[in-house]
Chain A
Amino acid sequence: MGSSLKSVVLAIAYREFIFFKRFFSEYFLLWVIPLIFSLGIVFLPTTIASRAAVLRRFSTVVGGSFSFTELLTYALCMSAIMSLVIAIVSDVFQTLHQEYRVLGAMVMVLESTSVTTYALATAFVRSLIMGVLSTLYLVAVLPLINGINGLITYATLLPPIIISSIALGLYSVAIAIPLTFYVRLDRPWTVANTLAPALLAGAGLYIPIKLVPIVLRAIAYTAPVPQLCTTVRVVTLLNEPTQLPWLMALVVALATIYSLVTTYLGRFSDSIARRGG
């Protein structure tokens, strides 16, 4: 008996399954709050103007001519990106810090395996599970708006969601490792809670990224969020699925870079942790 990547993956999957059951209310919030946001963005303007005028304005800003159903589908799918980013970025970061600095649960990990193996397993398993679960509500909501096409939209978006979740998980771990092991932060959640909205704001989310100030845009481009937003736009508004392979190839390339960074930093972190850092 000995630890391998497989056993670490299994352990994390087991733990995530329990956390999902135990903290279902928090997942529920991850579905409800971005849903409210997305509906707000669509319906708030209609409180002071007509729906047709809002739709025309939306079409002008985004570029094209769209129906209200398309607008709603688009907004709901963007809310899913919001859920995904919040869930993965905040949670991966904070959990690693909690395990190492607060709970002492990292001892179980250090007894069994290396920081690198654990970090990579966390990035894959955690992000995959959270990415799928945090966007699961689309399965119910999209068909309500658009019938069978809604389900097709979800099925088309699911693979990019999975790939981007893993990439985002690797990104979050790559940031979390130095902030957990190399420095002592009193309030680490401030970083995690700021990074998620910075990535979302910088990607534009509901608006084209070209309208976003360059500073925010630069932050967003360090993560795969802009590519995921473009994917949603391509699938729900522009109906150009041929762009998807290129977008996903870019995300995979980013994921490769993040995993290399994670592996490199993880080795030093293991050394730091075992030297008494």
Chain B
Amino acid sequence: MGLTEGLRRFTHLLYIGTNLARMHVSSYVASTINTVLWFSIVFVPTTLFSPNPLKALHVFLPGTIGFTAAATGMWVATEFLRWYVHEGLTDMFRECGLNVFHYLVCGFHIDLITLTLVSYLAVTSLATTYLGVPITHVLPTNPLLFALAFILAVPAYLLCGALIAYLYTVTPVGGAWTNLIQMVLIVGTIVPPKVLPNPELALINPAVLASELARASYGANFIPVNTLLVLATPLALTYLALAYIISKYCDKYIAKYGIRFRR
């Protein structure tokens, strides 16, 4: 596939995703509100119980950038290989030569803007209400690093989605496992890499790169910024390639063995 054709396909996928999102605006609004509420249930006590609440906010909250991106990717893949199967929509996509990777690409822009960025901004604003601090205290001091974090959340979204897709394709596990597996993603993201013997080990988690860069934008990172910047490009490309390869494999497997019905 040439570059022009690739770009055309990419924009076509974004167009599909945008139209799908337009059909489900209420879902996105509700999901964003949900995310804000859940984070406030967890993060407000966490920051209030910390001796330095503002520092806690700078450490824990940016970790959610990578976590929500990766978790959202997992849920999108779950939707494709679970709920859509019931309604025959998975086969509709597959008829058109689209697999789970394409479905993830369709919606990444909407998902990351609403469920990651908007939720993050809403939670930080809400947190300032509880802490009684002005909003300027919770804005990133290095917006470029924050923007980079957001961009690098995309490969994490795609790879984690592809990994869950593999799980649902090849094994008979139920949908509840997505809930459990996403808990693994908190190590290095919401739980800072500091808890590990070597913080760099946390980079095994695809979501950590984005989280640490977001933390770095507040000056609260645990992995040196230079390490993060050097690793950014190779890791991002690796995640993208792996996501593509795994998704292709999933599609071949489904073509051979079919998709299981799963509650």
Q: Do chains A and B touch in the complex (CB under 8 A)?
A: yes
Residues on the B chain within 8 Å of A33, using CB:
179-180, 183
Q: Is there an interface contact between A41 and B26, defined as CB atoms closer than 8 Å?
A: no
| Interchain nearest-CB distance for A181 vs B (Å) | 19
Taken together as a complex, chains A and B put the C-alpha atoms of A202 and B195 apart, in Å, by: 31
**A194 sits at the interface (CB 8 A):** yes
Taken together as a complex, chains A and B put the C-alpha atoms of A197 and B27 apart, in Å, by: 15
Closest B residue by C-beta to A24: B176
Q: Is there an interface contact between B27 and A187, defined as CB atoms closer than 8 Å?
A: yes
- 1/0 per residue, CB under 8 A from A, across B177-191: the answer is 101100100100011
Q: Is there an interface contact between A44 and B46, defined as CB atoms closer than 8 Å?
A: yes
Q: Is the interface of B mostly helix, strand, loop or mixed?
A: helix
With contact pairs A44-B190, A48-B55, A205-B41 given, residues A190 and B49 touching in the complex (Cβ less than 8 Å): no
Which of B27, B38, B183 contacts A36, CB < 8 Å? B183
Q: Is there an interface contact between B46 and A201, defined as CB atoms closer than 8 Å?
A: no
Residues on the A chain within 8 Å of B60, using CB:
44
Residues on the B chain within 8 Å of A23, using CB:
176, 263
| Interchain nearest-CB distance for A179 vs B (Å) | 13
Within 8 A of B (CB), among A13-27: 23, 25-26
Q: Is the interface of A mostly helix, strand, loop or mixed?
A: helix
Q: Is there an interface contact between A201 and B41, defined as CB atoms closer than 8 Å?
A: yes
| Interchain nearest-CB distance for B192 vs A (Å) | 6
**B8 sits at the interface (CB 8 A):** no
Taken together as a complex, chains A and B put the C-alpha atoms of A61 and B191 apart, in Å, by: 22
**B14 sits at the interface (CB 8 A):** no
Q: Is there an interface contact between B38 and A197, defined as CB atoms closer than 8 Å?
A: yes
With contact pairs A198-B37, A205-B41, A213-B129 given, residues A45 and B50 touching in the complex (Cβ less than 8 Å): yes
**A11 sits at the interface (CB 8 A):** no
Residues on the A chain within 8 Å of B38, using CB:
197
Within 8 A of B (CB), among A73-105: 82
**B256 sits at the interface (CB 8 A):** no
Stretch at the interface among A50-58, A125-133, A258-266: A50-58
- 1/0 per residue, CB under 8 A from B, across A184-213: the answer is 001100110110011011000111000101
Which of A36, A190, A194 contacts B37, CB < 8 Å? A194
**B48 sits at the interface (CB 8 A):** yes
Q: Is there an interface contact between B174 and A200, defined as CB atoms closer than 8 Å?
A: no
Taken together as a complex, chains A and B put the C-alpha atoms of A143 and B177 apart, in Å, by: 28
With contact pairs A186-B26, A193-B30 given, residues A207 and B48 touching in the complex (Cβ less than 8 Å): yes
Within 8 A of A (CB), among B95-153: 126, 129-130
Taken together as a complex, chains A and B put the C-alpha atoms of A49 and B54 apart, in Å, by: 13
**A10 sits at the interface (CB 8 A):** no
For this complex, 16 residue pairs linking A to B, each with C-beta atoms less than 8 Å apart, are A29-B176, A33-B179, A40-B186, A53-B51, A61-B48, A61-B49, A82-B41, A187-B24, A190-B29, A190-B30, A190-B31, A197-B37, A206-B45, A207-B44, A213-B129, A213-B130
Nearest first, the 3 A-B pairs at minimum CB distance are A190-B30, A197-B37, A206-B45
